[in-house]
Structure 1
Amino acid sequence: MEIKHEVTARTESSVLASFADYVEAQRLVDRMSDDGFPVESVRIIGDGVRTVEQVTGRMTRGRAALAGAASGAWFGVFIGLLFGLFTAGSGWLWFLLISLVIGAFWGAVFGFVAHWSTRGRRDFSSVMTLQAQRYEVHVDQAVAAQAARYVL
């Protein structure tokens, strides 16, 4: 199955509706799709896009090492399972456990060193998101009259 991601020249469009919340805009397009409207001519455009960084907590060297250990442990499990596939008998379980421990150790070391190297310039953890002030639902001019019935 081939999926094409082409940017095609769009025809003139008009604003069908404007919402303060993306979910509301998505709900309108979903309703249009459920009714069989040609949603290929619909776009949801975020206006006034900004980044919002939510601080989730203080980051200490200990927390950085713990987060690194967790990531390293998962990587170790992956490597252990990979090598365990080629091991006869119950030896694969030992590969898994040893890889987990080694991965957790080195993950903790790298997490600690990575945080220490910032020298206190970023002592917090956060999650960044993109948000828009408004979400406009646009439709091509050719189907604007047909789409208008969805906002009445």
Structure 2
Amino acid sequence: MTQMSTWPRFGVIPLGEEIATFEKYEEVQRAVDVLADAQFPVQKVSIIGTDLRMVERVTGRMTFGRAAFSGALSGMWFGLMIGLLWLLLGAQDFSPVLLGVSVGAVFGGLFGVAAHAMSGGKRDFTSVSQVVATRYGLRCEHDVAARCRQVLGERGFRLPTAYQPPVVDLTEPPRYGERITPAPPSGPVADENAG
């Protein structure tokens, strides 16, 4: 079960070092589980999803019958809640509950059909939307980052190595777009003010 926390501040990306990246949420979740099993202070770890995409999965066609059925179910739930409230306020029997469910189903079905008719055929399908990340980063606070790398490395997780700048061959002219730092002159420097 995932618990969302607003600590230390809601809406702020946690500071720290990115230890590893994963393509699937289950992989980064397994890494955090490994850290927890090793008695690592997991409260200093964050999972950050990046490259977010909105995915809408089409679940079927929307027909008038389906719109009526869906509306009737929603109306039944609403009617049930109203009937139970009425029952709590002093009704002598369950007739308010049955009446609420029945009336809710009828009006919900009518509203479902009316809403589908008003769409004008522009959306004749049902779908479920969700936001998914294409990459998940495991970020750790600076003071425990080395231990985090050690624990994950010992348990077989492939971690990125430290960044190594590319070696530049100074015997050839630089390629287009390649920046090199000019070396100081190696011979004696002539005085520009001398005669």
TM tier, shorter chain? 0.7 to 0.9
Matching of residues 54-65 of structure 1 within 5 Å: 54-65=57-68
SS at match of 2:147: helix
Q: CA RMSD of the aligned region, Å?
A: 1.9
Counterpart position of 2:111: 110
5+ long unaligned stretches in structure 2? 154-195
Larger Rg: 2
Matching of residues 96-107 of structure 1 within 5 Å: 96-107=97-108
- For these two proteins, the number of residue pairs brought into alignment is 147
5+ long unaligned stretches in structure 1? none
Whether the 8 Å contact between 2:86 and 2:96 is mirrored in structure 1 is: yes
Task: State the structure with bigger RCO (CA 8 A, min sep 6), 1 or 2.
Answer: 1
| TM-score when normalising by structure 2 | 0.69
* Cα distance in structure 2, aligned partners of 1:145 and 1:74: 53
Q: 1:29, CA displacement in angstroms?
A: 1.2
What is the CA deviation profile of residues 73-104 of structure 1, one whole-angstrom value per residue up to 9, with x for unaligned ones?
Answer: 01111111110123353x2x111111100000
Greater mean deviation of Cα atoms: 69-78 or 33-42: 33-42
The structure-2 alpha-carbon separation of the partners of 1:107 and 1:9, relative to structure 1 and needing over 3 Å to count, comes to closer
* Cα distance in structure 1, aligned partners of 2:30 and 2:47: 11
Moved over 6 A (4+): none
* Cα distance in structure 1, aligned partners of 2:7 and 2:143: 23
Larger % of strand: which?
1
| TM-score when normalising by structure 1 | 0.87
What is the CA deviation profile of residues 35-56 of structure 1, one whole-angstrom value per residue up to 9, with x for unaligned ones?
Answer: 3322222111112110111000
